[in-house]
Structure 1
Amino acid sequence: MRKPTPLRLAPAAAVAAALVLTACGGSGTDDAASTIVRSTTNVAGAGVLGNDRDTENVCGPTAPVDTDGVAGSVRKVVHAAGETEVPADPQRIVVLDTDKLDTVCALGLQDRLVGAAVTGAVGAQPEYLGATIAGVEPVGTVQEPNFEKIAALQPDLILGSEFRTPEAYERLSAIAPTTFTEKVGLTWKDNLVLDGTALGRGASARQVLDEYETAAVETGKSLNSSETQASVVRFMPGVIRIYGPDSFSGQVLADAGVQRPTFQRLEGAQDRRFAEISEETLPNAEGDVIYVSFYGDEARGQGVDVMNGDLWQGLGAVKDRRVFTVDDEIWMTGIGVIAANGILDDLEASLNGYAN
């Protein structure tokens, strides 16, 4: 991951060669490329990205507290549900959405987390954020937080989402000072800054966002990304989705200058985050390169069945070995700056070999 220290992966050409060798059962030499060979696996003919991702040092150092906007021991934060006085430097934090978990980690406040809601399909804290986050107490799901558990943890700050639980604000704010962001995904950058402000570290949140945006531009230039149309496909239980420009992963691709296939631009659509397709319309998943994720084990099983089918196998990107499976927690549910940098790492490891 790029936070706190940038991670430079092997050049994409080496990864592409590694995927071919893995598929053929070949072995490599003791160089960087051969390390990729040993760590790369295969899912229905697709290469797997992120097996060598660093999760031990992913959270940032503790960011300094903002000195502005503080009145005594509190600061006022304007948010989607109103205006709230929160601790100037919160010590016991509960988060109720995955983007907030990512933000707390990025700002180095992971040791202050006492509880975090989980996604229903996974039922655990996201692995990409490492062992410290994995040990955080679950407090229900992002759709159904457990109020009793939250109260028992005695938080001094709760970060929630109007999109996920619009009816829960009064009950949560009766437990502890609570701030809500309005939307999910589309406004992830604004959410990062707002949550960072509630955590007393708005300036640092803006800094890590600036660093990400600079890295995205530099990554895109180094990969000649404007010459590639990337497809993003997600298998969910009983559903196949392609993700458009307003999705979290779609925004990261755009920040890196990666182009999108015509259908996946969702031009004229009311919702440009994603669209559902069927097995019969799998050609809409075509791209110069295809990134695939699975939302939970059930979706993985269904997705592998589809990927082994004739329609999927007939796609040009599949025939040319230009398909990669990626971590759903990073590409879809992370929705934060650490996850965004993880997508950039995946682009570095895969895109360059297919831009020519």
Structure 2
Amino acid sequence: MKTILTTLAIAVLPTLAFAQTAEIETAAGPVTVPVSPESVVTFDLAALDTLTALGVSVAGVPKIAPPAYLADVIDGLPTVGTLFEPDFEALAVMAPDFIIAGGRSQAQVEPLSQIAPTIDMTISGDNLLADAKARISAYGTAFDREDASAALLADLDNAIAAARTAVDGKGDALIVLTNGGKVSAYGDDSRFGWLHTSLGLPEAFPELNAETHGEAISFEFIADVDPDWIFVVDRGAAIGQDGEAAAVTLDNPLVAGTAAGKAGHIVYLDSARLYLVGGGYQSMMGTIDEVVAAFAAD
């Protein structure tokens, strides 16, 4: 089967007779790519998010329950496998000019390159804002949308500046993720750490370890840390998984007794936006708006 797929892939490889190419930054370093490819497939939701903001349409996406704000974009598009397992036969038939992978699909960059030029646009958790900005700029170059990408970057900078003003002097925060009845916390060097480092939100407990799924914590830990604010990401809700909701998990006397609990400063963020599409332009802008709204309502 592998031989058949490889043969089929090679048979439909695009001729790469593009009028123009450009060098862009990727997670793997500088790469020369075709400018304004006509048929683009993305396995990276952050890429889909930012490309949509730039007015770029795609021809194929992974099968996934998307965040609400991307539902209309994905609706009706051909699916080409999952985030982790591409459908190589469907891709070979589609014969895209260009493929974007990254994050959960990062391991598939090499095999996808057998179908079409493929780039790794992974956004690292410990450097999310810088990577997100680099991706916006790179997509602007690759899709001849440089003016649009510059406008997005300016809007993002303005939103971050407004958020820093909004949170200044309002206390510290603990970012927690719930997964069923389990709870973990995230520090400033984690995938959600940009809320601290970019928005100027002080950490309630600076000694947290950076882990993919956070550092496992107890309700007693939350009570001892006693944060002024608690920002909550509900993993189950983000991925459409049945189970105990975050609000139920955190509804207990230990959490309620914290400064955040007493002041009504427990903020349930749009989890699908933050968990599935981290680093996408629209995702970041939406999360920033949520943070600003929470502090403005205080």
TM-score, structure 1 as length reference: 0.66
Deviations 1:226-257 (A, max 9, x none): 43322222112464222222345431453333
How has the CA–CA distance of structure 1 residues 152 and 313 changed in structure 2, closer, same or farther, with 3 Å as cutoff? farther
Contact 1:94 1:155 in 2 (8 A): yes
In structure 1, how many angstroms separate the alpha carbons of the residues matched to 2:266 and 2:226?
10
Q: Which residue of 2 aligns with 1:331?
A: 274
Percent identity reads 27
Unaligned runs of 5+ in 1: 1-70
Contact 1:125 1:138 in 2 (8 A): no
Residue 18 of structure 2 corresponds to residue 75 of structure 1: no
**Residue 350 of structure 1 is aligned with which of 279, 283, 294?**
294
**Residue 192 of structure 1 is aligned with which of 121, 136, 143?**
136
In structure 1, how many angstroms separate the alpha carbons of the residues matched to 2:24 and 2:292?
38
Contact 1:238 1:299 in 2 (8 A): no
Residue 103 of structure 2 corresponds to residue 159 of structure 1: no
How has the CA–CA distance of structure 1 residues 338 and 153 changed in structure 2, closer, same or farther, with 3 Å as cutoff? same
In structure 1, how many angstroms separate the alpha carbons of the residues matched to 2:33 and 2:181?
42
Residue 155 of structure 2 corresponds to residue 208 of structure 1: no
In structure 1, how many angstroms separate the alpha carbons of the residues matched to 2:218 and 2:132?
28
How has the CA–CA distance of structure 1 residues 149 and 202 changed in structure 2, closer, same or farther, with 3 Å as cutoff? farther
The structure, 1 or 2, with the larger RCO (C-alpha pairs under 8 Å, 6+ apart) is 1
Residue 72 of structure 2 corresponds to residue 131 of structure 1: yes
Q: Which residue of 1 aligns with 2:185?
A: 242
In structure 1, how many angstroms separate the alpha carbons of the residues matched to 2:29 and 2:297?
49
In structure 2, how many angstroms separate the alpha carbons of the residues matched to 1:230 and 1:274?
15
Deviation at 1:95, TM superposition (A): 1.0
Residue 179 of structure 2 corresponds to residue 179 of structure 1: no
* Equivalent residue runs for 1:228-239 within 5 Å: 228-237=171-180, 239=182
Contact 2:97 2:116 in 1 (8 A): yes
1:293 is paired with a residue whose SS is strand
In structure 1, how many angstroms separate the alpha carbons of the residues matched to 2:32 and 2:167?
47
Q: Which residue of 2 aligns with 1:341?
A: 285
* Equivalent residue runs for 1:84-123 within 5 Å: 85-109=32-56, 112-117=57-62, 123=64
In structure 1, how many angstroms separate the alpha carbons of the residues matched to 2:115 and 2:172?
48
Structure 1 letter corresponding to 2:198: D
Contact 2:177 2:214 in 1 (8 A): no
Contact 1:330 1:339 in 2 (8 A): yes
How has the CA–CA distance of structure 1 residues 296 and 220 changed in structure 2, closer, same or farther, with 3 Å as cutoff? same
Structure 1 letter corresponding to 2:186: Y
In structure 1, how many angstroms separate the alpha carbons of the residues matched to 2:207 and 2:163?
25
* Equivalent residue runs for 1:215-294 within 5 Å: 215-221=159-165, 223-237=166-180, 239-261=182-204, 263=205, 265-266=206-207, 269=209, 274-283=214-223, 286-294=226-234
Deviation at 1:154, TM superposition (A): 2.5
Structure 2 letter corresponding to 1:114: A
Deviation at 1:278, TM superposition (A): 3.1
How has the CA–CA distance of structure 1 residues 304 and 209 changed in structure 2, closer, same or farther, with 3 Å as cutoff? same
Deviations 1:184-214 (A, max 9, x none): 3333333333344333435533431232112
Deviation at 1:349, TM superposition (A): 1.8
Taking only aligned residues, the RMSD between alpha carbons, in angstroms, comes to 3.1
In structure 2, how many angstroms separate the alpha carbons of the residues matched to 1:249 and 1:80?
19
Deviations 1:59-115 (A, max 9, x none): xxxxxxxxxxxx824334453447655331122211111211111111111xx2121
How has the CA–CA distance of structure 1 residues 225 and 308 changed in structure 2, closer, same or farther, with 3 Å as cutoff? same
2:184 is paired with a residue whose SS is strand
Deviation at 1:347, TM superposition (A): 2.0
Contact 2:183 2:216 in 1 (8 A): yes
